[in-house]
Copies of this chain bind each other. A is one copy, B any other.
Amino acid sequence: MQKYTLSEIVHYLGGKLVGNDKTITGVKSLEDANDEQITFLSNLKYRSKIDETQAGAIIVHADSKNLPENKSYLFCDDPYLYFAKVMRLFYPTPKTIGERHPSAVIHPSAEVPESCEISANVVICANVRLGENCRILAGSVIGTACVLDEDCVIYPNTVLYPKTILGKRVVIHACCTIGADGFGNARDMHTLEWEKIPQVGGVVIGSDSEIGAHTTIDRGTLSDTIVGEGCRIDNQVQIGHNCQIGKHTAIAACAGISGSVKIGEYCIIGGAAMFVGHIEIADGTIIGGGTAVTRSIKEAGYYATCFPLQTKKDWSKNAVHIRHLDDINHRLKILEKKLLQSS
């Protein structure tokens, strides 16, 4: 475990030390930190916890006032971001150990630099090209002609279908499937049966993106499905064929994005949000959790259509009227007309 003094942390990350310098051995929450550990206060809702914390140092906002005197503080502009950076200082990303496990199956035509770590039972198919320092963890399957740029990490049991392309430092968590066939089927209107449309595009994921466990990103039909650089995609997200996700967009867990959706850059998509196909979402848009995005969004903003939670009893009483809203509106119009006439 790394150790840093508070002044070393300031040296690396900026900010201002107020209080005694001391050696810090790790990061914990306000409740759990001891006097050799650092913690942070980002949400002022938890302000009172500062009085009780045993932490050796606290990361706080630069304009904090009336802080308890007997503690050390790191003042900064954005305590949560600073906390993230402190975490990365104490818990740096693991590096390749350059292992090539004997149980791994690597096709002779694959280019696998010696710096790469290839774990047990990994399968690397023909014509794959890995960049330096890639880590392919146990049981993952890298399909034919995939290209991974340097420093990618593929967690266990993930599957890359053939021709998937990853930029630098892409991280893909366990049990993802990248590049499966999109859901392309034409219905024969005479037989009502489905004719499968071969999916021959690919998937391209930009540098510095991270994909959560169990996420599926389908290959394009004719051209590529694209995830821009610096994206953050959570677990169990589904991204349909031909989608384009702009750079630095974040998508929370369980979101489902139909085919041919174009989401802009720097968007934030809430968990379990769902998108109909063939729409475009403006750069910088925020979508609330559980929202059904049923049309294109041309103007950035915060969109959300999640319901007010109620007991089943209250909800049943109210929801039944949703089925008759048109009627309610009609009755209201009649009353308005009557009152207007009579006045």
**A→B interface (CB under 8 Å):** 27-29, 32, 78, 80-81, 83-85, 87-88, 90-91, 93, 101, 103, 105, 119-121, 123, 125, 137-139, 141, 143, 155-157, 159, 161, 173-175, 177, 180-181, 183-189, 192-198, 200, 210, 212-214, 216, 218, 222-223, 230, 232, 234-236, 238, 240, 248, 250, 252-254, 256, 258, 266, 271-272, 274, 276, 288-295, 297, 301-326, 328-329, 331-332, 335-336, 338-339, 342-343
Contact = CB atoms under 8 A, between A and B. Distances in A.
Contacts of A301: 311-312
A321 B314 contact: no
A98 to B, nearest CB: 16
Contact of A315 (B81, B193, B305, B343): B305
A244 to B, nearest CB: 13
A277 B326 CA distance: 30
A305 B331 CA distance: 23
A294 B309 contact: yes
Contact of A274 (B290, B294, B329, B338): B290
Given A32-B222, A289-B292, 4 more contacts: A139-B159, A174-B180, A294-B309, A342-B343
A29 B223 contact: yes
A84 B310 contact: no
Given A183-B253, A238-B254, A321-B325, A175 B173 contact: no
A177 B87 contact: no
A123 B121 contact: yes
Contacts of A88: 195-198
B305 A197 contact: no
Contacts of A315: 303-306
A253 B256 contact: yes
Contacts of A323: 308, 310, 314, 318
A183 B252 contact: yes
Contacts of A240: 253
Given A238-B235, A308-B305, A157 B180 contact: no
A303 B314 CA distance: 9
11 contacts: A121-B121, A138-B141, A175-B177, A181-B212, A213-B218, A216-B235, A218-B235, A274-B289, A294-B308, A294-B309, A325-B325
A322 B181 CA distance: 38
A159 B177 contact: no
B194 A250 contact: yes
Query: Which of the listed residues A121, A156, A266, A326 has the most CB atoms from chain B within 10 Å of its own CB?
Result: A156
B180 A235 contact: yes
Contacts of A329: 321, 324, 328
A230 B193 contact: yes
A80 to B, nearest CB: 5
A83 B197 contact: yes
Contact of A319 (B141, B155, B307): B307
B309 A305 contact: yes
